[in-house]
Chain A
Amino acid sequence: MSTDSRGYWREELSLIAVLLLFFVGIVALSYHLPFDARLFPMVIGSAGILLTLGIAIEQVRRHGARDASTVDDDDPAAKADWPRYTTALLAAPAFGLMFWLVGFIVASLAAMLLIPVLMGYANRRQLVLTALLTVAILALIGPYLLNVDLPHGLVGDWLIDKFALRAS
Chain B
Amino acid sequence: MIDNLILGLTAALQVKQFIFMVLGTVIGLWVGVLPGLGGPVAMAILIPFTFSMDPLSALLMLASISVGAAFGGSVTSILLNIPGEASSAATAYDGYPMAQQGNAKVAMGLSAGASMAAAIAGVLILMFASGPVAKAALAFSPAEYFALAILGLTVVSVAALGSTIKGLAMGALGIAIGLIGIDSILGSERYTFGFVYLLDGISFVPVMVGLFAITELTSMILQGGTIARAGRLEGSLWDGFWDTFRYPFTLVQSTAVGAFLGMIPGIGATAANFLAYSVAQRSSRHPERFGKGAPEGVIAPEASNNSCIPTSLIPALTLGIPGGATSAILLVAVTLQGLRPGPMLFTSNPELIWGFFMGLLVGAVIATVLYLVMIPWFALITIVRVELLAPMLLIITLFGAYANERNMMDVFVAIFFGLLGYFLRRHGYPLISLVIGLILGRLAEGSFHQALMISDHDYSVFILRPLSALIFAVCLVLVLWPGVKTRLRRGGAEAT
Taking the nearest CB of chain A, how far is it from the CB of B443, in angstroms?
Answer: 12
Are A36's CB and B449's CB within 8 A? yes
Contacts of B449 in A (CB 8 A): 36, 39-40
Taking the nearest CB of chain B, how far is it from the CB of A141, in angstroms?
Answer: 9
Complex Cα spacing A112 to B165, Å: 40
- Please count how many residues in chain A sit with their CB below 8 Å of the partner chain's CB atoms: 66
Instruction: Known contacts A41-B179, A48-B173, A69-B427; decide if A111 and B190 are in contact (CB<8 Å).
Output: no
Instruction: Known contacts A55-B165, A96-B398; decide if A45 and B426 are in contact (CB<8 Å).
Output: no
Contacts of B403 in A (CB 8 A): 142, 146, 148
48-99 of chain A: CB within 8 A of chain B: 48, 51-52, 54-55, 58, 69, 75-77, 79-80, 84-85, 87-89, 91-93, 95-96, 99
Complex Cα spacing A153 to B204, Å: 24
Contacts of A30 in B (CB 8 A): 190
Are A91's CB and B394's CB within 8 A? yes
Tell me if B337 counts as interface (CB < 8 A to partner A).
Answer: no
Kindly report which residue of chain B lies nearest to residue A116, judged by CB atoms.
Answer: B387
Complex Cα spacing A143 to B266, Å: 32
Tell me if B391 counts as interface (CB < 8 A to partner A).
Answer: yes
The interface-forming segment of B214-222, B239-247, B273-281 is B214-222
Contacts of A99 in B (CB 8 A): 398, 402, 408, 411
Taking the nearest CB of chain A, how far is it from the CB of B263, in angstroms?
Answer: 26
Complex Cα spacing A93 to B398, Å: 11
The interface-forming segment of B62-70, B345-353, B416-424 is B416-424
Instruction: Known contacts A55-B169, A92-B419, A112-B392; decide if A138 and B188 are in contact (CB<8 Å).
Output: no
Instruction: Known contacts A51-B169, A54-B165, A95-B395; decide if A34 and B387 are in contact (CB<8 Å).
Output: no
Contacts of B222 in A (CB 8 A): 76-77, 79-80, 84-85, 88
Taking the nearest CB of chain A, how far is it from the CB of B28, in angstroms?
Answer: 14
Kindly report which residue of chain B lies nearest to residue A69, judged by CB atoms.
Answer: B428
Are A138's CB and B173's CB within 8 A? no
Contacts of A34 in B (CB 8 A): 186, 188
Most buried by B among A30, A44, A55: A44
Contacts of B385 in A (CB 8 A): 121
Taking the nearest CB of chain A, how far is it from the CB of B403, in angstroms?
Answer: 4
Tell me if A136 counts as interface (CB < 8 A to partner B).
Answer: no
Taking the nearest CB of chain A, how far is it from the CB of B258, in angstroms?
Answer: 28
Contact pick for A111, options B45, B175, B395, B444, CB 8 Å: B395
Complex Cα spacing A48 to B411, Å: 27
Tell me if A102 counts as interface (CB < 8 A to partner B).
Answer: no
